[in-house]
């Protein structure tokens, strides 16, 4: 929450002597239409203005923003503070309604401000924080954040950077080292932060914000799912004190980078689905693979098109070739899909051609007509694969026709 909204909630608590005056002040400030009730929209407008004021003050180094309300993530080394990250005005408005709207009317009266004992609004979940991080940084709604997104966001709002290096920021969140921070990676990291905070709260000293390993009791340990050995391993500098950052580092086990090499994937799939160990996949084995894979492999015609020699089985080599076709199709999509949708449109093609007129002699419309096999206005990997297969069949038919003519000419000669 913003510093101001936090003061409202704490000030309206039943133990505060000035709460009646504060309730009247809130009503006067928030009730824009004079109906003696504060709606979600009225909360939203006020908090949006306060949010902008706080961010502006923070960017100029003002102490008006409470440091206690704006702790930074990963010990001030990563993205922006809590206020920027997830204390958005819409969330604040909904939190105030949830706290004070006793009758569920969608608005809050002065009596509700006074009569309902406020409870602390729940903190956003890791998924909610991840979604707000993506909304803040993910330019083009790609589903991930890359270094270009970070740089762009920081150029537009320099106060977000905290003096960090964009490359280091991406590396800190990028669990699988693919230079993209996905929603799953964000959620995982937020869950780890919450776990670290919970452990420090349960086992640590509120004053130092760390865990003194020698002072942790058996009763405290029984409240967690970890062992003393775990704590000792996490204390990497062996100083007998475990900090939040050490816990986070210990829990952030790197995720293996996804395998994209068709040869490696084919070898792995053959081991998984070659039930009779014949070094090939028959129709039933390949069908099981298709059921688990979906996407471009789910097409019923895939088996026949991948079985190059028509012997009714798919060898590892044929499987690799088929996977390479899929990878090539995805690479083609990536050339034109500028915002990571997973497909490209006529507009995408036009933008590429406008940026580099020498890239092709064909017009965007001609390319779209060629690739968009099903005519839905979106060229997917399946469209690319279908077009390539149609081209292969046409070439095969043309070669066969030439061969037939040649035989006929020889016979007639």
276 and 233, same structural domain?
Answer: no
Look at the chain and report how many structural domains it folds into: 3
What CATH number corresponds to the domain at position 117?
Answer: 1.10.238
Domain extent, residue 67, equals 3-124
* Domain presence at residue 410: no
| Per-residue b or e along 116-133, where b marks 16 or more CB atoms closer than 10 Å to that residue's CB | bebeebeebebebbbbbb
104 and 217, same structural domain?
Answer: no
* Domain presence at residue 197: yes
What CATH number corresponds to the domain at position 276?
Answer: 1.10.238.10
Point out the domain boundary residue: 197, 220, 251: 251
385 and 283, same structural domain?
Answer: yes
167 and 91, same structural domain?
Answer: no
For the entire predicted model, the pTM comes to 0.41
385 and 348, same structural domain?
Answer: yes
Contact in structure between 301 and 268 (CB atoms under 8 Å): no
Ordered per-residue pLDDT tens for the chain, 413 residues: 344 555 565 556 555 566 677 778 778 878 888 899 988 778 767 766 665 555 555 555 443 333 332 322 222 233 333 333 334 566 667 777 777 888 888 898 888 887 755 455 567 888 888 888 998 898 888 889 999 888 888 888 877 777 778 888 888 888 888 889 999 889 888 888 888 888 888 888 767 778 999 998 888 888 887 888 888 888 888 899 998 888 888 888 766 555 667 888 888 888 888 888 899 999 988 988 887 665 667 777 888 889 989 999 999 999 999 888 888 888 888 888 877 777 899 998 998 888 887 777 788 899 899 888 888 999 988 888 888 878 877 877 776 665 554 444 434 33
* Domain presence at residue 396: yes
176 and 71, same structural domain?
Answer: no
* Domain presence at residue 405: no
282 and 211, same structural domain?
Answer: no
* Domain presence at residue 413: no
322 and 198, same structural domain?
Answer: no
Point out the domain boundary residue: 212, 229, 251: 251
245 and 190, same structural domain?
Answer: yes
287 and 377, same structural domain?
Answer: yes
395 and 268, same structural domain?
Answer: yes
- DSSP for 393-410, please give it: HHHHHHHHHHHHHHHHHH
Torsion over CA: 307, 310, 312, 317 (sign): negative
Burial class of 316 by CB neighbour count within 10 A (0 to 12, 13 to 18, 19+): middle
Cβ atoms within 10 Å, residue 317: 12
Report in angstroms the alpha-carbon separations of 83 from 65, 133, 159, 304. Answer: 10, 12, 12, 56
């Amino acid at each position: 929450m913003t510093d101001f909204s936090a003061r409202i909630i704490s000030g309206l608590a039943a133990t505060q002597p000035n709460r009646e005056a504060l309730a009247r002040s809130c009503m006067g400030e928030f009730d824009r239409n004079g109906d003696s009730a504060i709606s979600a929209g009225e909360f939203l407008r006020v908090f949006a203005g306060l949010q902008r004021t706080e961010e502006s003050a923070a960017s100029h180094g003002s102490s008006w923003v409470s440091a206690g309300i704006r702790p930074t993530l990963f010990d001030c080394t990563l993205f922006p503070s809590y206020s920027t990250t997830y204390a958005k005005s819409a969330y604040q408005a909904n939190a105030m309604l949830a706290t004070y709207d006793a009758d569920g009317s969608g608005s809050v009266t002065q009596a509700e401000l006074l009569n309902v004992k406020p409870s602390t609004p729940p903190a956003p979940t890791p998924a909610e924080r991840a979604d707000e991080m993506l909304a803040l940084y993910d330019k083009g709604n790609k589903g991930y954040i890359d270094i270009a997104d970070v740089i762009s966001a920081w150029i537009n709002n320099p106060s977000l950077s905290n003096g960090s290096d964009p490359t280091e920021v991406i590396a800190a969140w990028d669990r699988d080292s693919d230079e993209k921070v996905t929603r799953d990676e964000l959620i995982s990291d937020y869950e780890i932060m919450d776990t670290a905070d919970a452990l420090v709260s349960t086992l640590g000293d509120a004053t130092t914000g760390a865990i003194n390993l020698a002072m942790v009791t058996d009763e405290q340990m029984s409240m967690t799912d970890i062992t003393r050995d775990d704590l000792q391993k996490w204390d990497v500098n062996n100083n007998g004190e475990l900090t939040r950052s050490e816990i986070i580092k210990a829990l952030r086990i790197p995720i293996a980078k996804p395998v994209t090499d068709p040869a490696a994937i084919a070898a792995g799939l053959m081991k998984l689905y070659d039930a009779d160990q014949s070094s090939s996949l028959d129709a039933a084995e390949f069908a099981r693979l298709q059921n688990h894979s979906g996407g471009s492999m789910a097409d019923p015609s895939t088996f026949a098109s991948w079985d190059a020699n028509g012997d009714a089985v798919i060898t590892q080599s044929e499987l690799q070739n088929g996977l390479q076709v899929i990878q090539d199709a995805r690479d083609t999509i990536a050339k034109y899909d500028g915002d990571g949708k997973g497909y490209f449109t006529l507009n995408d093609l036009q933008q590429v051609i406008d940026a580099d007129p020498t890239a092709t002699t064909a017009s965007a419309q001609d390319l779209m007509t060629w690739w968009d096999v099903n005519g839905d206005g979106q060229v997917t990997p399946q469209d690319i694969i279908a077009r390539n297969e149609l081209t292969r069949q046409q070439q095969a038919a043309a070669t066969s026709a030439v061969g037939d003519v040649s035989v006929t000419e020889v016979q007639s000669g």
